[in-house]
Amino acid sequence: MTEHAYIESKPKFTAIWIIPIVALLITAWMLYKYQSNQGHTIYIKMTDAEGITAGKTEVKVRSVKVGIVKDLELDLAHNGVLAKVQINNQYDELLTEDAKFWVVKPRIDQSGISGMNTLLSGVYLELEPGVSNNLSYLFTLQDEPALISNDIEGKRFNLTAKSAEVLEVGASIYFRGYRIGQIETSNFDVSSLSMDYGIFVFSPYDKLMTNNSIFWVSSGVDFSLNTSGVHFSTGSLSKLIKGGISVDYPPEQKPNQLAEANKTYTLHKNYSQALEKRFDDFDYYIVQFEQSIRGLNIGAPVEYRGMRIGTVEQAPAQLKKNGEPIYFEHDNTLVPVLIKIEYGRIYEDETLAKQYWQNNLDKWIGNGLKASLKSGNFLTGAVYIDLDFYTTSGNEVLVSTDIYPVLPSTSSGITALSEQMTALVNKLNQLPFEEASENLNNTLTAYQILAEEMKALISNFNNNETADKVAKNLTQLETTLTQLTSSLKQFENTLSSYQQDSGVVDQLTNTLQELENLSNTLKPLSKGLNEQPSMLIFDRSTPSDPIPEKS
């Protein structure tokens, strides 16, 4: 081959190899472009794939398609479904680790009716972007849709309830009847046996949340029957159907410092319980009663002359010492009741109220301060504990124990009336009525004998009897007078015991005074029952105002 021929054949050889290489590069670039256009692949774990179809079910954000479900398969443990989802490349920044996915389908719940458009188009997955800067490729499908988007301004708080009724997600939060938020999440804590709620308060109403805010369940109907009587109230129709949570400040208190986000509050069963539980500064005391505590329930008020200062904690008290229960001794018939004196009820400044109470309690007890049971409601039989001063009692002291201090008590109510009647009867039985009656009968008998003998003597003088017979009659008369004198002296001694300032007269006077006091005590009750027999159940009706009439 000549050199010229070799030069002519060289370009042909190069072109043959360049064409396949270029084609391969083009194919690789097209594959890369195809894969890059496919977006990011993520995986979503779900319980089941009901309504979801591979290659058809879309992923949307605010009704805009951002991806599609590519494949469905069981997870390795075969107890769930793993969905392979492709998200368009331009939306990869939405795949943060706190992003949420849920199925949009027709729903009817407390938040209303939603997802009706999926009846024709089929279900789809809704993506709510998060706020984290970290991306993720594995997510878990939520059972319920997120109610509050991250772009809505407001604050989140937590509520814990142990006795309140269970509320559904989506229930509203009300401030004085106005809707300011709603429940986002609910969870039952097995360890603490309490319901934990996550709530969201919209802006600007989040500024109403302060450290002294109180929360309670507003079910729409509130009915209570206690020592204060019967209380019944209803809310709006929406509250009656859906229920909800109310929040406010305690009465006569102004809002204090604003609450930080995620602060935890206690959710109470009703408004009255919310007011009672806000008194956190208190001391425990034991009250021992000699009478029955039937009708005294946990939560009953402890009052001083009508002003509530505490609450009954246990009735009867379940006392322990060194971890061991304290049982009743055979020679102790008193029933212990555990109460707590809540200083916030005495005065707004709890520190000053506590100092005032503790500095004066010993002096008050020395002056006759005692606890007694009083009837709060004849219809329910509920009673409460009343503190008052009793001047007739001896000097008492506050008994200090290694558990709780013991306040002195006294009987009251029907028990006190029964004891007064018993004491009155005992005093009447001790009076010497039989002795006085016997002396009086002897004196009257002597007077009768004297009258008969005087009559016989006068008759003898009138009939001109002999001197011997008259002398005999005079002798009998002298004997009778002697007996009468003796009887009169004995009767005089009996009467002297009933003279002014004598012991018997004082005893009789005191007894009659007690009888008069008891009668005065029963007069208003008797008069009220005569005027209105139902006053033991219903409040006594007051007379209506007079209407002036034209003359």
Domain ranges of the chain: 38-142, 154-276, 282-411, 433-496
Predicted pLDDT at 181: 92
Predicted pLDDT at 237: 47
Q: Determine the Cα–Cα distance for residues 496 and 504; give it in Å rounded to an integer.
A: 10
Nearest to 199 by CA among 268, 151, 247: 247
Q: Determine the Cα–Cα distance for residues 334 and 287; give it in Å rounded to an integer.
A: 9
Distances (CA, A) of 489 to 350, 434, 443, 483, 501: 73, 18, 10, 10, 20
Predicted pLDDT at 130: 83
Nearest to 216 by CA among 289, 151, 255, 167: 167
Q: Determine the Cα–Cα distance for residues 213 and 266; give it in Å rounded to an integer.
A: 10
Predicted pLDDT at 330: 46
Distances (CA, A) of 184 to 42, 98, 147, 493: 26, 16, 6, 94
Q: Contact at 8 Å (CB) between 335 and 293?
A: yes
Q: Contact at 8 Å (CB) between 184 and 169?
A: yes
Distances (CA, A) of 273 to 77, 214, 229, 250, 477: 48, 10, 16, 12, 91
Residue indicated by tokens 């009933």: 498
CB burial of 186-222 (b: ≥16 within 10 Å; e: otherwise) equals beeeeeeebbbbbbbbbeebbebbbeebbbbbbbbeb
Please give the structure tokens belonging to residue 447. 């007077």
Q: Contact at 8 Å (CB) between 136 and 87?
A: no
∠ CA 80-84-88, rounded to 5°: 145
Q: Could you give the dihedral angle defined by the CA atoms of residues 532, 533, 537 and 538, in that order, rounded to the nearest 10 degrees?
A: -20
What is the maximum alpha-carbon separation in the chain?
A: 218
Quickly count: other Cβ atoms within 10 Å of residue 380's Cβ.
15
Predicted pLDDT at 98: 86
Hey, is 151 helix, strand or coil? coil
Tell me the pairing of strands 214-217 and 264-268: parallel
The continuous run of DSSP H or E covering 226 comes out as strand 221-226
Predicted pLDDT at 110: 52
Predicted pLDDT at 23: 73
Please give the structure tokens belonging to residue 211. 């450290």
Q: Contact at 8 Å (CB) between 126 and 60?
A: yes
Tens digits of per-residue pLDDT, 346-375?
887 888 989 999 999 988 988 888 888 888
Q: Determine the Cα–Cα distance for residues 424 and 210; give it in Å rounded to an integer.
A: 60
Q: Determine the Cα–Cα distance for residues 455 and 471; give it in Å rounded to an integer.
A: 15
Hey, is 486 helix, strand or coil? helix
Tens digits of per-residue pLDDT, 523-535?
565 566 556 655 5
Q: Determine the Cα–Cα distance for residues 50 and 81; give it in Å rounded to an integer.
A: 10
Q: Determine the Cα–Cα distance for residues 369 and 388; give it in Å rounded to an integer.
A: 5
Q: Contact at 8 Å (CB) between 398 and 406?
A: yes
The residues that bridge with 546 in the sheet, in sequence order, are: none
Tell me the pairing of strands 214-217 and 320-321: unpaired
Strands of 293-381, DSSP E: 301-304, 307-314, 320-321, 324-325, 335-342, 369-377
Predicted pLDDT at 392: 66
Calculate helix-pair angle for 503-531, 413-430, nearest 10 degrees.
Answer: 140
Q: Determine the Cα–Cα distance for residues 410 and 370; give it in Å rounded to an integer.
A: 6
Q: 483-492: list long-range contacts, CB under 8 Å, 24+ apart.
A: 483/446, 483/449, 484/443, 484/446, 484/447, 484/449, 484/450, 487/439, 487/442, 487/443, 487/445, 487/446, 488/443, 488/446, 490/439, 490/442, 490/443, 491/439, 491/440, 491/442, 491/443
Predicted pLDDT at 1: 47
Q: Determine the Cα–Cα distance for residues 481 and 475; give it in Å rounded to an integer.
A: 10
Q: Determine the Cα–Cα distance for residues 198 and 155; give it in Å rounded to an integer.
A: 11
Q: Contact at 8 Å (CB) between 341 and 309?
A: yes
Q: Which residues contact 31 (CB under 8 A, 6 or more apart)?
A: none
Residues of the chain with pLDDT under 50: 1, 5-7, 13, 227, 237-238, 241, 330, 536
- Alpha-carbon 12 to chain mean position: 100
Predicted pLDDT at 302: 92
End-to-end CA distance of the chain: 154
Q: Determine the Cα–Cα distance for residues 429 and 95; give it in Å rounded to an integer.
A: 96
Q: Tell me the residue type at 458.
A: I
| Alpha helices per DSSP H over 262-412 | 271-276, 343-346, 350-366
Q: Tell me the residue type at 137.
A: Y
